Amino acid sequence: MASSKKKVRVLIADDQTLFREGIKDLLENERMVEVVGEAADGQEVIRQAKKLKPDVILMDIKLPHIDGIAATRIIRKECPDTNVLILSGYEDEAHVMESIQAGANGYLSKMLPATELVNALKTFANDGVMIPQPVMGKLIAGLRQMANSQGEGSPVALTKTEIRVLVLLGSGLANKEIAAKMECSVKTIKNHLNAIFQKLGVSNRTEAVVKGIEMGLISPEESR
């Protein structure tokens, strides 16, 4: 019996032709992944995102014309159903922070094993979050530096239900999976997430997970 699962539609954005072709060759061996397009610069990836509406964009930071971070910010506003996975050679705090603040759903190194990249794509297709522990550590450090420079502020008060939603979010579950575990509708989960985002002062799922780790509501081991 044929699988009814939908293929993950991927757009690859990188200025190096050999790298794009290598990633494309890798992903074409995956039955549940389909490469729908390629882009060599920031302007092109924005055009392709609007035209093709991929599930996931593999985005390099160093792109001509419009860099990957700026392109991510535009795409996340104009194509909210498309998830962006930064795949970069940079792993410093500044690039990680800028990427997540721009709306990227995750940040992976170009040096990672091929199997980890494929797993990340499958996670992102379900609105998951994937940030390796070394990168997560840098992201948390960056957030702490921001908090110190801005002052501690008022404590955040999440309800028990919101905390549970945040923990499940940190485990990489999609809205539908969280709803099933909590025995409620997907719309209810979205309402909880909107409340969590507002209370934590974040704009996306990845920032919420990182903030939850920083506050001690989620252990780093859960955010995998």
Mind listing the pLDDT tens digit for each residue in 114-140? 877 887 777 666 655 656 555 555 555
Buried b (16+ CB within 10 A) or exposed e, 53-72: ebbbbbbbbebeebbbbbbb
Average pLDDT over residues 97-113: 82
Fold of the 8-132 domain? Rossmann fold (3.40.50)
Maximum mean pLDDT: which of 2-11, 12-21, 159-168, 201-210: 12-21
DSSP strands (E only) in 104-192: 106-109
pLDDT tier at 150, thresholds 50, 70, 90: very low
Give the pLDDT mean for 51-68: 94
Spatial separation of the C-alpha atoms in residues 88 and 123, rounded to whole Å: 18
Better-predicted residue by pLDDT, 215 or 179:
179
> For residues 61 and 90, is the Cβ–Cβ distance under 8 A?
yes
Nearest CA-CA partner of 15 in 70, 62, 48: 62
The yes/no answer on whether domain 154-222 falls in CATH 1.20.58.220 is no
The answer to whether residues 163 and 217 touch, using CB atoms and an 8 Å cutoff, is yes
Q: In the predicted model, is pLDDT for residue 222 greater than 50? A: no
More confident of the two residues 209 and 64: 64
- How high is the pLDDT of residue 120? 72
Query: Lowest-pLDDT range, 61-70, 103-112, 187-196, 209-218?
Result: 209-218
Q: What is the pLDDT of residue 34?
A: 92
Q: What is the pLDDT at residue 223?
A: 46
The pTM score is 0.67
Confidence at residue 219, expressed as pLDDT on a 0 to 100 scale: 57
pLDDT for the residue 2: 42
**Is the pLDDT reported for residue 159 higher than 90?**
no
Q: Which residue has the higher pLDDT, 212 or 129?
A: 212
Q: Where are the domains of the chain?
A: 8-132, 154-222
Report the share of the chain in percent with pLDDT over 70.
78
For residue 89, pLDDT over 80 is answered with yes
pLDDT tens string 5-58:
678 899 999 999 999 999 999 898 888 889 999 999 999 999 999 999 999 999
